[in-house]
Amino acid sequence: MSSSRPQLVFGLTYHGSTPEPVQGLDNVFGKHISAAKLKRHLDWLKRRFRILTIGEILDQARRGTLPRRTAFIAFHDGYRSNYEVAFPILKQAGLQADFFIPTAFIGSGQRFWVDILDAALKNTAKSRLDLGINENTMRLSFESKSGRLEAAHTLRRYLKGLSQKDFEPEFQHTIGELGWSDAAQVPRLGKHEACMNWQQVREMAHAGMKFGSHTHRHLICATQDEETVRDELRISKKLIEDEIRKPCAIFCYPNGSYPDSGNDFTDRLAREAGYDAVLYMVSPYNLLDQNAFRLTGIALGEWIEFRKFKMALSPLRFRRYRWQKRRLWPWDGGQSGADQAAVDLGRNREHLELRSRICQPGERMPGYSSLEDDS
């Protein structure tokens, strides 16, 4: 089918995957989906959509040959379970997917700070933590499992709002307040927090899986200065291309929100670094044409009911939202081009001073709001 009109493409994004369901502080936000649930998702998708890689979708969109009922599947963070659990399921289903990896974590044994934080909250003997923010104090209680889980949500949002310079001492201070003199002493959550090595990445790439950048150190780009963002884009792209001997053409933002994780300014830096497209996590819907550069997928995990999973991928629901003139993407209705890039540059600088962004208990990962029931 050849068409110059924008075509609807659905985007699905996952993080880790586990042989059996994992709950609580071992799986905050339910980002590790169980093998049985992932298989059910992929079986349903395969029967109803044409599954393409992001590169294939961009190529066909730019040639005006993108078919209807197309979707892509992406995995973030480079967890080893992508190789041990998701990869075999994808091969069995005959599907390809895009994997976005933070290159500093591949084969290094390095742990994500959020996993260290969750493990510290799970294992701490402390009963509370008084968190000082902008001359105010917030008391976090650890006397119940639900209190510890709410603390994980709160501390995540606070720490993610810091620049890398401010983050390191604040994170170490937090771990110290939880009872460990060094983050390396904090017990592991389990096998599911480990990342892949380069041999596993190469094996997956050889089998047809695609790899893109998720920065080098898994930094939130919108909270960093321009030089740091450029380095993260460049280093990760080169490492991936050197290791798999294939182009690294797609960049995916850690955390995935707009404009707090990425924005028009960081998009421009990604384009200048040689990327063909960027990926956010704010919605399952994409309308793509020959000028496609910004894509988005919905963040999925163990938490989602199958009914809501299917609802999010309904073309009829998308058309109804368009007819109702709902705002489907956070960049809808704003400035664009050089003016917006200038605004975003200013926002990046403001982020370097921001220390008080606290999430509400029970908040889900970026993109989850699209799965709520109609109201």
Structural domain boundaries of the chain?
7-109+194-349+364-371, 113-185
Rounded Cα gap, residues 148 and 174, in angstroms: 14
**Which residue did the predictor score with more confidence, 366 or 212?**
212
pLDDT of residue 311: 94
Would the pLDDT of 80 be above 70?
A: yes
Note if the bond before 330 is cis, omega within 30 degrees: no
Q: Is 205 exposed, middle or buried (0-12, 13-18, 19+ CB in 10 A)?
A: middle
Would the pLDDT of 368 be above 60?
A: no
pTM greater than the 0.75 cutoff: yes
Are 123 and 187 a contacting pair, CB within 8 Å?
yes
The band of 162, judged by pLDDT with boundaries at 50, 70 and 90, is confident
Q: What are phi and psi of 72, to 5 degrees?
A: -125, 155
pLDDT of residue 333: 60
Q: What are phi and psi of 279, to 5 degrees?
A: -125, 130
pLDDT of residue 218: 96
- Tracing tokens 């003997």 back to the chain, one arrives at 125
Q: Is 117 exposed, middle or buried (0-12, 13-18, 19+ CB in 10 A)?
A: buried
Q: What are phi and psi of 74, to 5 degrees?
A: -130, 150
The model's pLDDT over 224-283, given as tens digits with 9 standing for 90+, comes to 999 999 999 999 999 999 999 999 999 999 999 999 999 999 999 999 999 999 999 999
Which two structure tokens, joined as six digits, stand for 82?
A: 């992508």
Architecture of the structural domain at 7-109+194-349+364-371: Alpha-Beta Barrel (3.20)
pLDDT of residue 134: 66
Using DSSP's 3-state secondary structure scheme, residue 259 falls into coil
pLDDT of residue 2: 52
pLDDT of residue 1: 47
